Structure 1
């Protein structure tokens, strides 16, 4: 079974989250994709977000500082999960790191904005709904640390 490391970003502005319609799965998802060679999950989340939406973002989140000059703290993901992905012609595992992100530039080219109340009405996966609700909760609590 193929195993991939993937990263995605959740952008919430005001009371709405930006989602894209995944072309292969035909479901509403947060932007994200495979981590490429010589790329960190943070870099992949930022790159994929811009490629899929046109909006340039940066990953945000708590950082654990070890105070070691050889260690660079990275923002912690909102969640990490192992997902079985059922593409039309193949099945594989995604080791999925999902980050909160904030906009730093660009213009929306693709995607739609949804409120937390919209989540039960859109065509997506239940685990995605739960992750999005967690993201709304964290943003409401002010969990935005760089």
Structure 2
């Protein structure tokens, strides 16, 4: 796990130094410039949540945090709520046994099936996502 985190930090740094991060931000920002800031926040959270179900949460957080911050700055919004949305989205991995280490540990030991995670996890992801997107702007305003 520690090796994975260090590797993802290195990859995040490489994205920044190579200019790939700026390119991603430049491509995504125009798409989000036409929506309300809360919708942009919800889309960042949703993307993070979906990716964290497929890849480990640490990798998703390290890769998407600078992208989310860059997009927020490009849109003239405070980057903090967007980074917080990435952190919450990456931590709320309920729908698969892949995205979070504890899910993987209990998958075999508990005799669970993949569909068990989907059946319980998808509603949990939706509830957590809605609460997160509604509460983040109350603590960290979207407009600087």
Whether TM exceeds 0.5 here: the answer is: no
Give the TM-score normalised by structure 2: 0.30
Question: Based on CA coordinates, which of the two structures has the bigger radius of gyration?
Answer: 2
Higher helix share: 2
Higher strand share: 1
Higher relative contact order (Cα pairs below 8 Å, separated by 6+ residues): 1
